[in-house]
Amino acid sequence: MSREKEFVKNSAILSIGTIVPKITSIITLPIITGCLTKAEYGTYDLITVCVLLVLPVATLQMQAAAFRYLVTARGNRQEQDRIITNIAFFTVPVCIGALMILYFILGFWGGFDRTLRILIILYFFIDTLLITARQIARGLSMNMVYSVSALINSVLEMAGMFLLLYVRGGGLHSAVFVLIMSQLISFVFVTWRGKLLQHVRPSAFSMEGVKILIDYSWPMIPNSLSSWVMRLSDRMILAAFMGVEATAIYAAANKLPNMFNIVQSTFSLAWQENASISVGDKDSGEYYGRMFDNIYNIFAGMMALLIAFTPIAFKILIRGDYSESYNHMPILYIAVLFATISSYLGGIYIAHMKTKEIGITTTLAAGTNFLINILFVKRIGIYAASLSTLISYLWLSVYRMYDVQKFQKIRFNYPRIASLTLILAVMSFVCFCRNLYFDLGNMLFSVIFAFLLNRKIVLAACNTFMKKVFHK
């Protein structure tokens, strides 16, 4: 199978594990918000957000090393056993120690009874095991196991929330218990279906092997934390300087652009694997450049359609007095596009095991985002948040396009990238104007634009479909 077909296949499989959980979370949200008090929901949200902050530090991002090193070790059972054993023997005791400390911190913090603290610690621990097991499965080329486990987790969580909260009238403790059980069952599935325990052999453990994995993984900690800052610092600063209403407007503005992230996250997972497998090929530079052109065409076409049909989507999906949110969407659309470019380049960094460079670039981008917010939030209000997001992702993309050349020569068609980006920026401005005739013209143009950019893919897909239909 060609590298391109393998990428498409992996993207399709991984989409199950990324898109379905997003859908179930939307369905589950009304149940959670309706059955929990505001204080309970605030605590629940804090728990689910903090897990993204605590676990990268507690595990030294060892799960990132699990995926990357196992990709290289495919076909070598002895090396796979060594990697998985070292990860298991390091992650489990270190995580237990870190979470015991967190248990006492939660006690001093206040607001958490003993039962809730135990539930939180169990949730964090099982989440760590599940994430690590999934990355091991991906590294062993078990993408279907990865996606099915995510599907099991999300469906069980949705069903559990309905039964324990809506039917039984449970509260915060029940909600956290559901998270624990859904993730535990998902972890058992990954471990059983992937036969992961068969790879754990105490005799394969070595401190030298652990050190190699840590040297790769620890620079990913600032990358993970910086990504967390990039997502949340805007809201935190808006809340501090302008109040929670401004945060609500900005959150609503992100709703449609974030739909693009669902597709982007699937692409990112598939591309990391594809780029890592191809890194040793003689034509890797040419392949990376060709894939960038194809991927940018696809995402530019999708973004054009999303921008053009925003006036309709906004009226359908955004309810209440959020008209001000509309003005920030064109800016956030372009920001998300640059985030996709930086994610693509991040896959090449991972392929070359340049985790330190990933951490440095993401940290600088997060710092840029935070600084712009602080300096301009009093002057331009919510626009400081949307513009800081755009500028930080633009800076991250441009810098990585330059920096990646140091270890992987890739020929980028800069004039074409700039011209396509300019077209999308103009379309965003037209969307911003809120003129009916402009909007209709934008919609027509977006369809033509998206087709011309991806006509080979569209025609090939139509041709394949027609052959299957008439063959039957």
DSSP string, 423-466: HHHHHHHHHHHT-HHHHHHHHHHHHHHHHHHTHHHHHHHHHHHH
Match 């960038």 to its residue by tokens.
292
In this prediction, residue 244 carries a pLDDT of 64
199 with 231, same domain: the answer is no
Same domain for 162 and 260? no
pLDDT score of 188: 94
Query: What pLDDT does residue 80 have?
Result: 87
User: 176 with 228, same domain?
Assistant: no
- Whether 208 and 224 map to the same domain: the answer is no
Residue 469 pLDDT? 57
Same domain? For 210 and 240 the reply is no
175 lies in the same domain as 240: no
CB 340 within 8 A of CB 398: no
Of 163, 185, 215, the one marking the end of a domain is 215
With helix as H, strand as E and coil as C, how does 104-168 read?
Answer: HHHHHHCCCCHHHHHHHHHHHHHHHHHHHHHHHHHHCCCHHHHHHHHHHHHHHHHHHHHHHHHHC
What are the per-10-residue average pLDDT scores of the chain (472 residues)? 68 76 76 73 70 72 80 83 89 86 73 81 90 88 88 90 81 87 94 90 86 81 70 74 75 75 75 79 82 86 87 73 79 87 87 83 86 88 88 90 87 87 88 83 88 78 62 54
Q: Indicate whether 240 and 380 sit together in one domain.
A: yes
Final residue belonging to a domain, choices 215, 244, 277 = 215
Q: Are residues 209 and 229 in the same domain?
A: no
The tokens describing 378, both together, are 């009093």
Do 166 and 59 have their domain in common?
A: yes
Q: Report the pLDDT value the prediction gives residue 280, as an integer from 0 to 100.
A: 75
Whether the CB-CB separation of 317 and 408 falls below 8 Å is answered with: no
Cβ atoms of 188 and 173 within 8 Å: the answer is: no
* Size of the chain, expressed as the number of residues it contains: 472
pTM for the full predicted model: 0.78
- For position 180, what pLDDT does the model report? 92
Q: What is the number of structural domains in the chain?
A: 2
pLDDT at 192: 94
| Alpha carbon distance 423, 238 (integer Å) | 31
Last-in-domain residue among 160, 184, 215: 215
| Rounded-to-integer distance, Cα 277 and Cα 268, Å | 14
Q: What's the pLDDT score for residue 470?
A: 59
Helix (H, G, I), strand (E, B) or coil at 1: coil
φ, ψ dihedrals at 335, nearest 5° = -60, -45
- Per-residue pLDDT, 184: 94
Whether 231 and 364 map to the same domain: the answer is: yes
The pLDDT assigned to 379 comes to 86
Same domain, 435 and 291: yes
Give buried/exposed letters for 359-378 (b at 16+ CB in 10 A, else e): bbbbbebbebbbebbeeebe
Do both 267 and 202 map to the same domain? no
Q: For residue 438, what are the domain limits?
A: 219-471
Q: What is the pLDDT of residue 228?
A: 67
